[in-house]
Structure 1
Amino acid sequence: MSLKGLLRSVMYQDRVTVRRQTTTFDDEGAACSKLGDVYTDVPCKLSQYGKMLASHQDDRAFVLSNDLRLCCDPAIDIRPNDVLMVTHQGELWRLRAGKAFLYPTHQEIQAQKAGESNDSVGIRRAGKQAQQDSTGDAGET
């Protein structure tokens, strides 16, 4: 078995749906932005790379952020600012992608979830919430 195959079978127990902002035009020719799925249920691994939970106060609320890393096959085109809907151990995480760092066998993407302190730092139970998130209603303010 190749190293790539071994990574896929042992490490990639999570799943990611990659969503990207695209521009479409309506019947009158006006530009509209739309968030659409680029990849669905791609095997991956979500992990922490920094143990610190960063926080700051903005005009509205106390904001927490968590630095995470997503690893997956290098053939998957994940771009900065893509929305990553990651199912990790039965929980759904909505994250923003950073720049991908490519290796021959895998890629590592910095991902971050920032939210208000009462937003559970982006952790959501999979199931009904996943259906709501796939329609674009992520429950974020």
Structure 2
Amino acid sequence: MNRLRLYRSVLETNYTDRMTIFRMQDGKRGGETVLTLEEVSVSLPCRISQTGLAKNQQTSVQNDIRYDAKLFCAPEWDIRQGDTIDVTRGARTRRYIAGEPFPYDTHQEVGLQRKDRA
């Protein structure tokens, strides 16, 4: 086994999370072309890591959740900037927006941003 394959197999032992990738696609509705969010890949192994502490965006009306995270996954998964990615860890699923992927021979890293309301 060459070194890159060995290193990749070690990295993949950490992929205990699962992701589903959604992408804006052209669709038809009533003869009209519309953009819809379509599921393009389901239940792919990955690992998510928080890159910084969440920013408290509490106001008297709403509490916004905003933070950055990093996704680690196999280099062959087709992730594009702007994709919506649902990451499941255990029983909890959270939704993120993907930044531009950074590919390596053994894996890829994707900056994610979470925006939600508490």
Please point out which of 37, 40, 47 is paired with 1:38: 40
The secondary structure found in structure 2 opposite 1:77 is coil
Q: CA offset at residue 4 of structure 1?
A: 1.5
1:4 corresponds to: 8
1:80 corresponds to: 81
Cα distance between partner residues in 2 of 1:103 and 1:49? 19
Cα distance between partner residues in 1 of 2:115 and 2:44? 23
Q: CA offset at residue 90 of structure 1?
A: 2.3
1:139 corresponds to: none
Which runs of at least 4 in structure 1 moved beyond 6 Å after TM superposition? none
Question: Which one has more relative contact order, counting CA pairs under 8 Å at least 6 apart?
Answer: 2
Cα distance between partner residues in 2 of 1:62 and 1:90? 23
| Structure-1-length-normalised TM-score | 0.71
Q: Deviations over 1:71-111 (max 9, x none)?
A: 00011111111111111132111111111111111111111
Letter in 1 for 2:9: G
Q: CA offset at residue 19 of structure 1?
A: 0.7
Q: CA offset at residue 64 of structure 1?
A: 2.5
Letter in 2 for 1:48: Q
Instruction: Name the Cα RMSD after superposition.
Output: 1.8
Cα distance between partner residues in 2 of 1:79 and 1:106? 15
Please point out which of 15, 18, 23 is paired with 1:15: 18
Q: CA offset at residue 56 of structure 1?
A: 3.9
Structure 2 unmatched ranges of 5 or more:
none
Cα distance between partner residues in 2 of 1:94 and 1:45? 14
Q: CA offset at residue 34 of structure 1?
A: 1.5
Name whichever structure is richer in helix by fraction. 1
Structure 1 unmatched ranges of 5 or more:
120-141
Name whichever structure is richer in strand by fraction. 2
Q: CA offset at residue 114 of structure 1?
A: 1.1
Question: Percent of pairs identical after alignment?
Answer: 31
- Figure out how many residues of one structure are paired with residues of the other and give that number: 113
